[in-house]
Chains A and B, each alone.
Chain A
Amino acid sequence: MSESQLLSVRGLSKKFGRVVTAEDVTFDVREGEAFGIVGPNGAGKSTLLNLIGGVIDPDAGSIEFGGRDITRLKAANRAKVGIARSFQIPRPFVDMTVFENVYVGSSFAGGTRGQHGYDRAYAALETTGLLGLAETPAGQLRLLDRKRLELARALATGPRLILLDEIAGGLTEKEIPPLIDTIRGLLASGVTVVWIEHIVHALVSVVDRLMCLAEGRILALGDPHEVMRSPEVIEVYLGTTFDIDEGRAS
């Protein structure tokens, strides 16, 4: 494995009963890159993030992060070594304020307590545009803000790798470009991003490489445009040919 691999997944498998959600999945993510994941509904994308984030344990295979085997590491400790994630269906701590939600991230996984932790939480709120809602109980947030909160909490942990699950879903087209800017900013600051998204044009405009999963297996992996042009991907995922220019233009 070369120096620049931040995350490397080897032969990862996971079944729920008879349902195969990951089968012998092997891929690497380079430090600092933006790695996209697409695939039909139920392909196992969220499951893969759950496996990497440690929310569920694999049946087989291994995960290395920064050269260290983390396959058996608990979710909380993975967060501490620098893996952050957002959930597809946002999971805010509804009884805490937005600020407190984010402070959980900065103080626990981020390990910055007290003033440092506050400052980092503050910065994450600022980055995600949530500052105006800092004192709002998270249970009262609407969808967009919940998604932002997912991102803000992940940021506050000071991650090396951030796993995003359909963070743009539900955003209007006008709201997507600012989000893309945010993600680009993340990348610029050296964070590695793994991003699942069905809003293909948004994804393709950011990621360096794209992986398409289907039925728990890797269908295609490589240059985003090539992956999108692959007939299998078109068949199982896109339905029609994907017009990248149209996607970019909007």
Chain B
Amino acid sequence: RRSAKAEGKETSSVRIGIVLDVGGRGDKSFNDGAYAGADSATRMLGSNIRFIEPGEGADREAGLRLLAAEGMNLVIGVGFIFTDDLANLAKEYPNTAFAGIDYALATDANGNVIPPPPNVAALKFREEEGSYLVGALAALVGHSKKVGFVGGMDIPLIHKFEAGYRAGVKKVCPDCQIIAQYAGVTPDAFKNPGKGKELALSQYNQGVEVIFHAAGSTGQGVFEAARATNKLAIGVDSDQNDEAPGHVLTSMVKGVNTVTFDAISRVQNHTFKGGIYSFGLKEGGVGYIYDNRNRALIPDSVHARVEELKQEIIAGRIKVPSSR
């Protein structure tokens, strides 16, 4: 009944609700990506957007429910952790559009993917593809035959980054050694920069030249270590060049902003459709930064080689693994 009311107002700008993941605004990474996308939607499309930063478990559903009950046209959950809550609510509010960034897809007994409810867009990224490219980049730029990886919490989602990265490294440098470490096994592991710095320092000390982090705020420590030892680090999710200018080789970016913007604009012009959307290199959903600020760090030959790999992945000639 609430959504009927919302439909009555369709001449005015649509109302969007976004529930952010742990870390919230200002994480300079994942959440800020969603925020940036929403921000451009506000500016360019005049969308009316509300944010919620939930706390513990039950608040996630409560946040989504609050927005759905208020008659938002689109409710976005930022993070795989919202998967079940989105699926449940979507059934309850069939006239509201839902989008889940990093929505996790369950499989049935025969291994077939169970599709989300019809009004849910599962927005997924093939992080392993982007990670593959920065892995190759790290191995080609570094010259010590050792590359590093610092993960946040030791969980499958982060293993995806590690797996792609490993494959990328091995592709261009089969005898390279990859040192992969995690900051911990609790959610604290994503916000322990002190630990991140020490992990990175110990890797740099062992001769690693480039470290790729997928560790949230813990990654800030990796950048500090890169500064302190004059080595290189690779950012994640957003362009993190500003965290340590001159020490950020590149960033493995996830187009959270564009995907968010896209979902909003589709709702705005009534082209929103539920279903599974997977964003990889081909769709421009993931990628790596190569611009004026880091061009000096990447030799042209290296860039050419990485671009070549990118085309091979897009063409489907290289299958990137998503688990280690």
Pair from one complex: no
Binding site for A on B (CB under 8 A): none
